[in-house]
Amino acid sequence: MTIGQNSEYFRDVRIGVIGGTGLYSLDGLNVIETLAVETPWGQPSGPITIAETERGHKIAFLARHGPSHSVLPSEVNYRANIAALKALGVQAILAFSAVGSLREEISPGDFVLIDQIIDRTKGVRADSFFTGTGVTAHATFGEPVSAGLRALVARHAAAVPDIAVHTSGTGVCMEGPTFSTRAESNLYRAWGASVINMTCIPESKLAREAEITYAIVCMATDYDAWRESEEPVTVAEVMHTMKGNAANAKTLLLALLPDFEDAVYNDSAKALMRPEAGSMQYAFQQPPEKQSAAGRATLNFLFPQYFTV
């Protein structure tokens, strides 16, 4: 069964884009409709915009913090965001996020395609679809970001020639909304981290649970707090840099879309999504008869092929 086909929201929209700070809309695409999606985990951060590419394929866009940036990082309903995109048919997500740089060579304005994540959130965010369902499951997360999607994005770095696109790195996800102390910033540098943000956890974890291919473009806005020679990061500094970052993000996205569409819509082998597709099939520890009926009904929204009702 095709994921989401049993949902009233299904649109065969296989590509999802999540916009972060400064990226609240898509340009250069034909908007078809705007949807308010309800999930068993509530409503997402805002309406989901369905746009059409020049080739006639559909893309779902969601602003992570809402269209007017009214939702704090710890208050984002990450489960609803990912579940809503899944219900539309999304199989691959390219996310964008503002980050602080923890490395001299990553300048404000640069993009980083992180391949690893360190979780420094504090357990206040709902980070699993299975919590409270009476169904026990464990997703693999050793490689939290899709190598294939990262490589696809990297191939189009020339579209933004005025900045550097770093093709690997480790991201720290902190709780926020307060920025780091100098001591914390230097601790993360000692751990080998490259950038720091407030949203890639649990977003990436939930995408993995939902069997969605996921990569994130980290857009550096500042040097966090580790540089002794300058003042720690401020919102004013972040927003000043984000204007250029948002323009570069839109340029990069439009440049890579044809390849992204080919990988998602035209590759019969679906090589890009293969590592995540079906990855939860053997993640469940209980036999079906031992699972909560109510929990199975909830999870049917995401996994109709595993949880029949």
Q: CA neighbours within 13 Å on the CB side: how many for 162?
A: 8
Catalytic residue list contains 119? no
Query: Where does residue 216 rank: exposed (0-12), middle (13-18), buried (19+ CB within 10 A)?
Result: buried
What is the identity of the amino acid at 169? G
CA distance linking residue 117 with residue 213, whole number of Å: 16
The answer to whether residues 167 and 113 touch, using CB atoms and an 8 Å cutoff, is yes
> Using CA atoms in the order 246, 49, 91, 55, what is the torsion angle rounded to 10 degrees?
-80
3-state DSSP helix/strand/coil percent for the chain, to nearest 5? 30, 20, 50
Q: Which of 119, 222, 259, 267 is catalytic?
A: 222
CA-CA distances (angstroms) from residue 259 to 152, 256, 293? 7, 6, 42
Catalytic residue list contains 224? yes
Query: Where does residue 142 rank: exposed (0-12), middle (13-18), buried (19+ CB within 10 A)?
Result: exposed
How many helices (H) and strands (E) the chain has is answered by 6, 11
What letter does residue 231 receive in the DSSP assignment? P
The answer to whether residues 250 and 23 touch, using CB atoms and an 8 Å cutoff, is yes
Q: Which of 224, 259, 262, 267 is catalytic?
A: 224
What letter does residue 39 receive in the DSSP assignment? B
- The candidate with the shortest Cα–Cα distance to 152, out of 223, 258, 224, 62, is 258
What secondary structure does DSSP assign to 83-138, as a single string? HHHHHHT--EEEEEEEEEE-STTS-TT-EEE--EEEEE--S-S---TTTTTT--B-
User: Which active-site residues does the annotation give?
Assistant: 222, 224
